[in-house]
């Protein structure tokens, strides 16, 4: 697996038809001007703003986290100074889909 300069895995994930099963899934697509944005970062934070994980988007602009049930924050950072934060509630067996326009 390759990484970028911050150590986050590069590549993104395929989001079609994911079955959460016995997991809570938080995933999304980052786009700019309607096109998937590669090289953006999605960070998973707990409610105290503690860092839990980070992934870099690949060619499809996608990211995915498997989280424990409860409240989380997803912070997305992209080129041109873009930052956005989303508060979500993860629940076992459910998939949360975020659409991010950077």
25-36 average pLDDT score: 97
What would the two tokens of residue 49 be? 């703003």
Per the CB < 8 A criterion, the answer to whether 29 and 15 are in contact is yes
**Distance (Å, whole) CA 64 – CA 72:** 13
Q: What are the residue boundaries of the structural domains of the chain, listed by start?
A: 24-101
77-95 average pLDDT score: 97
For position 29, what pLDDT does the model report?
97
More confident residue, 45 or 20: 45
**Distance (Å, whole) CA 36 – CA 72:** 24
Q: Topology of domain 24-101, per CATH?
A: Immunoglobulin-like (2.60.40)
């Amino acid at each position: 697996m390759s990484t970028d300069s911050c150590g986050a895995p590069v590549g993104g994930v395929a989001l079609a038809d994911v079955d959460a099963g016995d997991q809570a899934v938080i995933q999304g697509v980052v786009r700019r001007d309607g096109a998937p944005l590669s090289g953006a970062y999605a960070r998973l934070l707990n409610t105290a703003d503690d860092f839990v994980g980070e992934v870099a988007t690949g060619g499809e602009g996608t990211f995915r986290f498997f989280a424990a049930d409860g409240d989380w924050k997803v912070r997305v950072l992209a080129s041109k100074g873009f930052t956005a934060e989303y508060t979500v509630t993860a629940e076992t067996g459910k998939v949360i889909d975020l659409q991010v326009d950077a």
